[in-house]
Amino acid sequence: MTTSAAVPTGSEGAIPSDGAVTDRLVEANERYASAFTDPGMDARPVLHVAVVACMDARLDLHAALGLELGDCHTIRNAGGVVTDDVIRSLTISQRALGTRSIVLIHHTGCGLESLTEEFRHELEMEVGQRPAWAVESFRDVEQDVRQSMQRVRTSPFLLHTDDVRGFVFDVHTGLLREIDPA
């Protein structure tokens, strides 16, 4: 399994804040591109599925779901929350690129469980401008998955809302637990 473990850990491997991380990523891309062959795919996912998940670095969605390049559209944000922008992406995914199924994945130990809307107020006090977006924090991950499923199922912009399923990924076991929408 390839992980960021290739980045040294400990004080000798501390990641500097001077752009060296981005330089490392660009160098990795150059190595990748030197062996890259165009797979000849278009943007339509082979499995006709879009996955909405949290941006948490512990979630390796392709490995966890047995997916290959080209199998799905992946939409990620803090919490895997179904926001207006997620609905926008799902609408394009369905209407322009042929997806029919939607999988929603939240996870245990999510950082949004420890935030509140007070975070927005703190930002406003710090920078002098209130963020236009909501934090979308939650206390109950299962209930938030249900809310996300409901937001997808009731969107007037989405064509296919009959195959929408929600899960909680356990960051300690790697297992998905399906959430009943009821």
pLDDT, tens digit only, all 182 positions of the chain = 344 445 444 555 555 567 799 999 999 999 999 999 999 999 999 999 999 999 999 999 999 999 999 999 999 999 999 999 999 999 999 999 999 999 999 999 999 999 998 999 999 999 999 999 999 999 999 999 999 999 999 999 999 999 999 999 999 999 999 999 98
- C-alpha span between 81 and 115 (Å, rounded): 14
First to last CA, the chain: 37
pTM flag (> 0.85): yes
Annotate 18-30 with b (16+ C-beta within 10 A) or e (fewer): eeeeeeeeeeeee
